[in-house]
Amino acid sequence: MSAGSGRIRIIGGSLRNSRLNVPELPGLRPTAERVRETLFNWLAPVIAGENCLDLCAGTGALGIEALSRGAAKVQFVERDARAAQALRDNLVRLKIANGQVSTTDAGVYLQGAAQPYGLVFLDPPFALNLWSALARRLEEGGWLSSAAWIYVESPRGTVPALPESWLLHREGHAGEVRYALYRRANELR
């Protein structure tokens, strides 16, 4: 989807077929519907009641999809003020009370007081190459529960350097995107 197409659809759960308004912003790259469908099929057994962190949220489609499918709450972090406001507007329009938006850089956010999340969406702007730095802060800063799930989206052919404790659960490709779901090991083997 191009940045200018204006709307994307929630594909499952209580908000199924709801539309998210998407601002026309350079570099905004919403996760494709078929990728979200695959990801949330993988997460179906574990999503209910989970506290989630949507880091580099962009449109917030991943976090809103999680809420639609039974996540307890989602913390959205988005540095672009226009994208963050569009996300807030979508949450209000869809009457979502258990989503909170922080307008700040993901790296700055992760320097704050940590609370552990059971599911994290890590999908930074591809051009900024932030995967490894943000993953390290998530792992070392107390942001992940002992058996957290971490979704990582990156360019096809790129496997970011991630903490040893993140074990690949499943992965796939769609167009120029690699998407992967990791599970944090309780202890290194």
* Interatomic CA distance for residues 181 and 183, integer angstroms: 7
Q: Please, what is the Cα angle at 129 between 75 and 68, to 5 degrees?
A: 30
* Residue closest to 134 by CA, chosen among 156, 114, 99, 108: 108
How many Å apart are CA 5 and CA 1, to the nearest integer?
7
> Is residue 51 included in any domain, yes or no?
yes
Give the pairing type, strands 99-102 and 73-77.
Answer: parallel
Residue 140 lies in a domain: yes
- Evaluate if residue 49 carries a pLDDT over 60: yes
Bridge-based pairing state of the strands 19-21 and 166-174: unpaired
Residue 1 domain flag = no
Does 189 fall in a domain?
Answer: no
pLDDT digits (tens, 9 = 90+) for 54-82: 999 999 999 999 999 999 999 999 999 99
- Is residue 109 domain-resident? yes
pLDDT tens, residue by residue, 156-184: 988 999 999 999 999 999 999 999 999 99
* Structural domain count, the chain: 1
Confirm whether pTM is higher than 0.85. Answer: yes
| Residue 126 belongs to domain with CATH number | 3.40.50.150
Cβ–Cβ < 8 Å for 132, 160? yes
Does the pLDDT of residue 3 top 70, yes or no? no
In this predicted structure, the answer to whether residue 189 has a pLDDT above a threshold of 70 is no
Range of the domain at 180: 7-184
For residue 143, what is the DSSP state?
Answer: -
DSSP helix/strand/coil, 127: helix
pLDDT of 104 = 97
